[in-house]
Chain A
Amino acid sequence: MKRAGSAVLALVLAGLAALMAWIVTRPVQPGRDVPAHIAGSIGDSGVSHPVTAVLLNFRGYDTLLELVVLLVALAGVRCLAPLPPPRGGAPVGGVLSELASLLLPVLVLVALYLLWAGASRPGGAFQGGALLAAAGILALLAGRDRFLWRFEHRLWPLASLGVGVFLIVAAGTLGGSGVLLGLPPGHAGTLILVIEGFALFSIAVTLVALFLGTGELEDREP
């Protein structure tokens, strides 16, 4: 009975997929030419890469809310009762240890480079933050978790730094020009870099904390 139901569903969904494919390939006349509009305004945005300009300036409000969503997910995870630590796996081998020694400085460097490069070429806070989080996770997997003691009781202040700085800038723009997150063209570049810097750090902390999951940070098995 279940197999028959699954097959019928598959048939219905195949039809739906065909319908959606037909709809999606219809030519559409956009109401306004958004890429041209963005290209026209990019001079005032403080950066020269259009995606960064959209993320941090034109749609900065969405990015602020996205950072808050990360914190909400972290709150949800931290609310859960602690899981037992995972049953011990194999001890850290030589290859992983050597690889970690080589890769960790490179990852941190590339993450900071992406932060800087995001102004003029592909990069930005999210990509850099994810890379920094990957560096943290690699360190954890290779057994180098002594950096965790710095974050023991400061998880929430550190994770909220990105949102906090973003809110300060937003309040400043609201007070200054009356437009929420309307970055003044003269200082937009600097403001974006400041926001992205703190956001990168907070994103990395939040993602590593999400990976660690429940339980106290200092209770991990070595």
Chain B
Amino acid sequence: MAALNLLPLAPDLFLVVALLFTAWRALYTRALFPAVVFFVAFGMLLALAWMRLEAPDVALAETAIGAGLTGALLMAAVARLRGRDEERP
């Protein structure tokens, strides 16, 4: 059956759909804080993608820097902006 050819790709398909979903929500959520949370989740999923692509060094860097540090920076900024212009598009 043709569908069975897709089976080895199943984790990649899930990861890809999750990547697209978190990126879309991160960019188009109305409120800022959930957007940042989705962005951090996007970073973590991207780290998994790096592992699937056989790039463990990049996965380490992405988790620590891309998701962790960027997440901390963004959350600190959102906390300072809280209540000021959260609902701007």
Contact = CB atoms under 8 A, between A and B. Distances in A.
Classify A-B as touching or not with yes or no (CB < 8 A): yes
Given A86-B80, A211-B72, A211-B73, A134 B57 contact: no
Nearest to A134: B68
Interface residue tally on B, bucketed by range? 10 to 19
B34 interface: no
Contacts of A67: none
Interface string B58-70: 0111001100110
Q: Main SS of chain A's interface residues?
A: helix
A56 B22 CA distance: 34
Interface string A114-132: 1000000011101100110
B79 interface: yes
A130 B61 contact: yes
Interface in A45-73: 51-52
A86 B79 contact: yes
Q: Main SS of chain B's interface residues?
A: helix
Contacts of B76: 86, 211, 213
Given A123-B60, A126-B61, A137 B72 contact: yes
Contacts of A134: 64, 68-69, 72
B10 to A, nearest CB: 20
Contacts, number: 41
B59 to A, nearest CB: 8
Nearest to B55: A51
A130 B68 contact: yes
Contacts of B80: 83, 86
A37 to B, nearest CB: 19
Interface residue tally on A, bucketed by range? 20 to 34
A133 interface: yes
A124 B57 contact: yes
A134 B57 CA distance: 17
A1 to B, nearest CB: 14
Interface of A: 51-52, 83, 86, 89, 114, 122-124, 126-127, 130-131, 133-134, 137, 207, 210-211, 213
12 contacts: A86-B76, A122-B59, A123-B60, A126-B61, A126-B65, A127-B64, A131-B64, A133-B69, A210-B73, A211-B72, A211-B76, A213-B76
Interface of B: 56-57, 59-61, 64-65, 68-69, 72-73, 76, 79-80
